[in-house]
Amino acid sequence: MSSGSRPPLAAPELDPAVIRRDFPALQQPVHGRPLVYLDNAATTQKPSAVIDPVARYYREENANVHRGVHALSDRATESYEQARQTVARFLNARDPREIVFVRGTTEAINLVACSYGRSRIGPADEVVVSAMEHHSNIVPWQAVCEERGARLRVIPISDAGEIDLDGCAHLVSDRTRIVSIAHVSNALGAINPIADIVRLARCAGCAVLVDGAQAAAHMPVDLQELGCDFYACSGHKMFGPTGIGVLYGRLPLLESMPPYQHGGDMIASVRFEGTEYQLPPHRFEAGTPHIAGAIGLAAAVEYVSSLGLDRIAEHERALAAYATEALARVPGVRIVGRPAMRAGIVSFVIDGVHPHDIGTVLDREGVAIRAGHHCCQPLMDRLGLPATARASFACYNTAADVDALTSALRTAREVFG
Ligand SMILES: Cc1ncc(COP(=O)(O)O)c(C=O)c1O
C-alpha cells in the first residue's frame, strides 16, 4: 500500500483518524470503497460540531435579527452578533465591527471592488493582482478597471509557482490603489509572502486585500500581524456552512466606504428626501443575513481552534510533502509547481491523460480530487497547461489517504495505457 516510508505526520495531539469520526459525510462508502476526500480546496466536509448548532438554531431560535421585540428574535440577534465576535477573535481583528458577514470570498472581493474600488480608483490608477489568482480575485477588479479607465497590472510568478517579489516591487507605485493577492494559491498551494507585499504597498501608500479562501482554518491567521487592509474568506472552505463568508476591513477604511448593496438593515433612517446609513459592519449587510450560517461558521472556527491551527498547518504541510514525494514516484506523473512555502494543496498532471479522465478513474476508486483549471485560467495559460488534477488536504486526511491516491493513480495509468 505504502509508496515509501511515512514521515511522522501529526503532533501527538492531532490524530486525523480520530478527527475523521467527527465528520458524518466521511463515514460513507463511495462506489463501494471508503471515501478518500481530497477536494478540500473546493469545499471542506462539516463536523457534527457545526451541523448540530445549525440544526439547533432552526429548531429552537429561528427568528429574524436586529428588528424583533420578542424572545426568539433577541436570541437570534445575540447568537448572530456573538458569531461576529467569535470570528473577530479567531482572525485577531481589533474590533468585531471590522467583521462583515457576506456570502463568501467572491462577494467579499466584489464588495471591496465596488465600494472601495469605485470610490477611489480613477483613470490614471492601477490595481495589482498576481498571475496565480482565482477568477474571483481577477474579474471584479477587471470590471472596476474597465469602468474607471484604470489599468490591471499582474505580478509575475516563477516556474516553481512563487510570487516574484522583485517584479512586485517594480509594479507597485504611487499609481497603485490596491494590491489584491491570494494568501494561499488554490491551484499550486503556494503560501504567498503577504508581510513583504504589505510592506511594499505601505511604501507606495496603497491598500492590500488578501484573498484568504485557502488559508483561513488551515493555518493561523493573525490580521493584526499580517497588517493587510482587507481579508476575505469563505465559511464552506473552513468546515462551516455554504453561503456565509467574511470580509474583514480595517475600521477607518470601512467607515469611509459607501454601501455595496442597499435595503433593509443597513440604514439608520429612510426618508424620501434621503437615507442615512448605519455604521459598519451593518452598513454592508443589507437585507436578512445568513443567520444560521454565521452561527455555523462560529462553531466551525471554535472547532478548528480546539484542534490548534499550528498543528493543523503542520499536519497539512507534512501531508503535502509526503504526497509530492509519493506522486513523483508514480510513472508519468508530474507535479505542477514546487513552491518552497506550500500549504496542503498539490497539483499534478499525467503525460497523455486529461485531468478529467484521471478524476473519473479516481472517483471509481473512492478517491475524490479536483480536475480542471481551478478557476485560474490565466495561471493555466502561464503554465502552458489546459488543466491539472489537484489533491487538497484537511485536518482529517491521513497518510493512508495519500497512499490510496497514488494506488488509484497507478490504476488510472493502467486504464489509459
Ligand atoms: C483562492 C480562492 N479565492 C476565491 C475563491 C472563491 O470562493 P467562493 O466560491 O467561496 O466565493 C476560491 C474558491 O475556490 C479560492 O480558492
* Angle subtended at Cα 209 by Cα 65 and Cα 260, rounded to the nearest 5 degrees: 40
Confidence of residue 6 (pLDDT cuts 50, 70, 90): low
Confidence of residue 7 (pLDDT cuts 50, 70, 90): low
Output the nine-digit C-alpha cell for 114: 465596488
Instruction: Using DSSP bridges, classify how beta strands 367-368 and 207-211 pair: parallel, antiparallel or unpaired.
Output: unpaired
115 Cβ closer than 6 Å to some ligand 1 atom: no
If you search the block for the grid coordinates 517594480, which residue do you land on?
A: 170
List the one residue out of 202, 246, 203 whose CA is nearest residue 93. Answer: 246
Q: Ligand 1 center to residue 185 CA distance, Å?
A: 10
Three-class DSSP category at 48: helix
Confidence of residue 9 (pLDDT cuts 50, 70, 90): low
300 Cβ closer than 6 Å to some ligand 1 atom: no
CB 135 within 8 A of CB 375: yes
Instruction: Using DSSP bridges, classify how beta strands 33-34 and 29-30 pair: parallel, antiparallel or unpaired.
Output: antiparallel
What local confidence, expressed as pLDDT, does residue 1 receive? 32
Length of the chain: 417
pLDDT in tens, 256-276: 999 999 999 999 999 999 999
Confidence of residue 351 (pLDDT cuts 50, 70, 90): confident
List the one residue out of 38, 107, 135 whose CA is nearest residue 358. Answer: 38
What local confidence, expressed as pLDDT, does residue 202 receive? 97
Question: d(Cα 341, Cα 22) in Å, to the nearest integer?
Answer: 29
Output the nine-digit C-alpha cell for 30: 463511495
List the one residue out of 40, 88, 67, 72 whose CA is nearest residue 302. Answer: 88
**Is residue 5 pLDDT above 90, yes or no?**
no
Q: Please name the residue ranges forming H helices in 205-347.
A: 223-226, 251-256, 291-307, 309-328
Atom of ligand 1 nearest to the CA of 182: 1
Side-chain-side CA neighbours of residue 238 (13 Å) = 35
What local confidence, expressed as pLDDT, does residue 415 receive? 85
What DSSP letter does each residue of 97-162 carry, written as one string? GGEEEESSHHHHHHHHIIIIIHHH--TT-EEEEETT--GGGTHHHHHHHHHHT-EEEEE-B-TTS-
Protein residue whose Cα sits closest to atom 15 of ligand 1 = 213
List the one residue out of 73, 95, 113, 394 whose CA is nearest residue 250. Answer: 95
**Is residue 21 pLDDT above 50, yes or no?**
yes
Question: d(Cα 212, Cα 18) in Å, to the nearest integer?
Answer: 27
Protein residue whose Cα sits closest to atom 16 of ligand 1 = 186
What local confidence, expressed as pLDDT, does residue 2 receive? 39
Catalytic annotation, residues: 375
**Is residue 323 pLDDT above 80, yes or no?**
yes
Lowest mean pLDDT among 11-15, 62-66, 98-102, 364-368: 11-15
Question: d(Cα 65, Cα 59) in Å, to the nearest integer?
Answer: 16
**Is residue 12 pLDDT above 70, yes or no?**
no
Q: Ligand 1 center to residue 135 CA distance, Å?
A: 8
pLDDT in tens, 286-320: 999 999 999 999 999 999 999 999 999 999 999 99
**Is residue 361 pLDDT above 90, yes or no?**
yes
What local confidence, expressed as pLDDT, does residue 261 receive? 97
Three-class DSSP category at 95: coil
CB 238 within 8 A of CB 304: yes
What local confidence, expressed as pLDDT, does residue 394 receive? 98
Output the nine-digit C-alpha cell for 223: 490580521
pLDDT in tens, 34-89: 999 999 999 999 999 999 999 999 999 999 998 778 999 999 999 999 999 999 99
Q: Ligand 1 center to residue 120 CA distance, Å?
A: 25
**Is residue 3 pLDDT above 50, yes or no?**
no
